[in-house]
């Protein structure tokens, strides 16, 4: 990463079909993906509430990551192979986020499935809370987690965004919408 200030957080943005997306990166990796936003100030206002570190635009340092996100939002299956920084999550959250990355592109799982997979079968609601606090959507694909009845439930960026992401992934993957149907 090109950096003048190793303690800073750098950010960049791209326009997506659902609004502006902002990606932020520190010395450890991408630490925040936030969308949809109307303006850069919208993103910065939300980010500064949580960041005690200097943040500055640096499009060059996020060139690779933005290219991967651009490909994803233009309808390509992408392997996000750059470092991620989830160190602000609790141990439970990081366990959930790691398991979410196992959900294949163009497929969905239930909150109960995630809870069972991480060895906490009674923690469906806690999984939902971890999803809500996911700092790296769609890289950590919390949008692929829906209700056990196939209905869309909860998404920090709104159900319209969740539905768009799922329908686009199902379309690109050439999969029929099955039990976990984002159109319900």
* Cis-peptide into 120, omega within 30 deg: no
Alpha-helix residue ranges (DSSP H) falling in the chain: 40-48, 63-73, 91-100, 111-117, 124-132, 159-173
**Cβ atoms 122, 76 nearer than 8 A:** no
Query: How crowded is the C-beta side of 157, counted as CA atoms within 13 Å?
Result: 25
Q: What residues act catalytically?
A: 142
Residue 85 neighbours by CB distance under 10 Å: 18
User: 124-132 and 91-100 helices cross at what angle (nearest 10)?
Assistant: 90
* Cis-peptide into 27, omega within 30 deg: no
């Amino acid at each position: 990463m090109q950096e003048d200030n190793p303690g800073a957080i750098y950010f960049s943005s791209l326009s997506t079909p659902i609004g502006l997306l902002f990606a932020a990166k520190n010395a450890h990796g991408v630490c925040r993906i936030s969308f949809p936003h109307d303006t850069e100030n919208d993103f910065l206002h939300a980010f500064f509430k949580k960041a005690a570190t200097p943040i500055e635009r640096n499009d060059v340092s996020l060139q690779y990551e933005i290219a991967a996100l651009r490909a994803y939002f233009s309808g390509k299956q992408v392997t996000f192979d750059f470092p991620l920084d989830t160190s602000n999550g609790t141990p439970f959250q990081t366990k959930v986020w790691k398991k979410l990355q196992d959900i294949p592109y163009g497929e969905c799982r239930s909150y109960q499935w995630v809870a069972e997979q991480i060895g906490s079968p009674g923690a469906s609601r806690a999984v939902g809370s971890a999803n809500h606090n996911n700092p790296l959507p769609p890289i950590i694909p919390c949008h692929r987690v829906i209700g056990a009845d196939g209905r869309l439930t909860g998404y920090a960026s709104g159900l319209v965004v969740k539905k768009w992401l799922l329908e686009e992934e199902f379309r690109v993957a050439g999969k029929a919408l099955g039990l976990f149907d984002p159109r319900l």
